């Protein structure tokens, strides 16, 4: 079973939506976190080590992971989903984008 960590800025809309979308998928275990100091759940070294695949919403999130976890960064498998911060939690468009971007990575 693949462990997915979804990362956005504040762990408020995008990454919790992605976590909810894949929460009951038998192929994966999921969690979510944010890179901002104001995130509801902040990214930690423990979470990054837990994940088989880190899925960030924007290139900026990948850059911030590189800054914040420089010693661990090169061990991580990170994919950028390119999903802007334009959607509320569980917005149908956001759910569709998440599925379109994540499914090829699980195939």
Q: In 3D, which of 104, 97, 96 has the Cα closest to residue 83? A: 97
The residues that bridge with 31 in the sheet, in sequence order, are 5
The domain of 49 spans 2-106
Residue pair 73/65 in contact (Cβ under 8 Å)? The answer is yes
pLDDT at residue 107 greater than cutoff 90 = no
Number of structural domains the chain divides into:
1
pLDDT, tens digit (0-9, with 9 covering 90-100), for 18-62: 999 999 999 999 999 999 999 999 999 999 999 999 999 999 999
pTM, full prediction: 0.97
């Amino acid at each position: 079973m693949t462990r997915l960590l979804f990362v956005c800025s504040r762990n408020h809309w995008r990454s919790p939506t992605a976590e909810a979308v894949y929460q009951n998928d038998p192929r994966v275990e999921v969690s979510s976190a944010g890179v901002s100091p104001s995130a509801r759940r902040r990214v930690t070294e423990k979470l990054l080590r837990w994940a088989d695949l880190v899925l960030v919403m924007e290139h900026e999130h990948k850059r911030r992971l590189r800054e914040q976890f420089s010693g661990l960064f090169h061990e991580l498998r990170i994919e950028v989903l390119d999903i802007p911060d334009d959607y509320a939690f569980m917005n149908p468009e956001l759910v569709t984008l998440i599925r379109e971007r994540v499914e090829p990575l699980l195939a």
